[in-house]
Structure 1
Amino acid sequence: MNEIAWTLLGTGFTFFMTALGASIVFFFRGNINRNVQKVFLGFAAGVMIAASVWSLLTPAIEEAEKLGQVGWVPAAGGFALGGLFLLALDTLLPHLHPGNKEPEGISSNWKRTTLLVFAVTLHNIPEGMAVGLAFALAVGENGSIAMSSGAIALAIGMGIQNFPEGAAISLPLRQEGVSKGKAFLLGCLSGIVEPVFGVLTVLAASNITTFMPWLLAFAAGSMIYVVVEELIPEAHLGEHSNIGTLGVMAGFLIMMVLDVALG
């Protein structure tokens, strides 16, 4: 298989995990416990932090040095551009985070349900980019990939943290009065951007291999923006913020072990 096929397989898995998380809406009654939500958000943040370092920034530096570049230049530059890219999306794209009353981004007449879906969709864009780039870097000339590849570790880690993300969109939608079936469908749709952006990023990377280090760092910067701007603050709202902190540490630990053990 070529890198596009591998990317579709990897992001297909992360999309499946989003859908699996969204399916909780069929079995869950009542409001989700706030402490459980904190753990989920913290866990997702920890996974994304570890993935940004081991699966994206470190390979970006190594790849740059292989190409004869100064390692830290594309790593730092791409990281900054990724953060600015998510800042622009966060500023312009109308979205509403669960539990908030006022939407962010430019004003619109969109329904609350649409705004809620777009909030989680923002998180999934850099995740799809990251998985796509990891597979583009790992696939050999003969189209094979080692089972010990860091790309597989990244896909597994992203998939694990996508499970609570799927629930984080379908359950609030259900609480907004949306039917279970529609809440599940919208939860699934929030993750469809991962295969889309994964493939688009691979196509771009294959045509401009010189900029692969920049693209890897770009994905890392995008994910760190999401972590610092959204996930960690939401995981530490109210009392007992140590629960969210433990979630961050657990996510970081699991992603680090996956990347080191498989990569």
Structure 2
Amino acid sequence: MVHIEGDRLDPVASISSCKICRGTAPLCGVVDFNKNCEERRGHFLPLAAIPIYYHRCGECGLVFTHAFDRWSKHAFARHIYNAAYADVDPDYIAARPAANAMAIANMVARGDGLKCLDYGGGNGRLAALLRERGVDAHSWDPMEQAGTEPSPDSFDLVTAFEVLEHTPEPRVTVANALSKLRPQGVMLFTTLTIDTLPPRAMDHWYIAPRNGHITIHTCRSLDALFEAFGYRVHHLDQNTHLALREVPDWLS
């Protein structure tokens, strides 16, 4: 059984303040810590008997939990991003990086000598695949225990695939990712937006603490989040988004 060392909100407040727009966010529901995304494919873990409470903002629709607000990197590595993580997200090791590498390589081929950073790159597989294609690609993950953080204002493109749903501090994470961009740089990222929750909201497959899905966005929450830093977001689809201040020549 997972033991979480005093890192959840206790007691849980019935009303919270949104982590993005500061709107009023009442309790939305509760799930077991072991709820995971692969349950939709029949992969159920034993109950951990640890309740994870989520709030939902009445203004921007953000769904979030305070349960992991005080967690250290060590706690995340021990309880979530451990050796069993591939069981609840099997695509992150190879399938997702391979698919993303092709899309990014085609995107940056329109420019000359563009420098790319895969933010939250995990095992670094995506950056490695891009380098094989001749792209000046780098990887850095703020959840890793080691590694040198890249310098600010260094990259033309920052990617963040399946990152924003994992952070307990969305403003801090986005500020850090955007700081790596050059003045005309753009950020391409994926995170599933859920603008309309079902009546039994906590049944949604993407609300999954065992996957580290602790901050679930809407298009409105992403717009508000990036607008605070002077960026606008183009929602390419429900999962894929592009943040920029102005369209660079290589993207026009």
Same fold (TM over 0.5): no
TM-score (norm 2): 0.30
Structure with higher RCO (Cα < 8 A, 6+ apart):
1
| Bigger strand fraction | 2
* TM-score normalised by the chain length of structure 1: 0.29
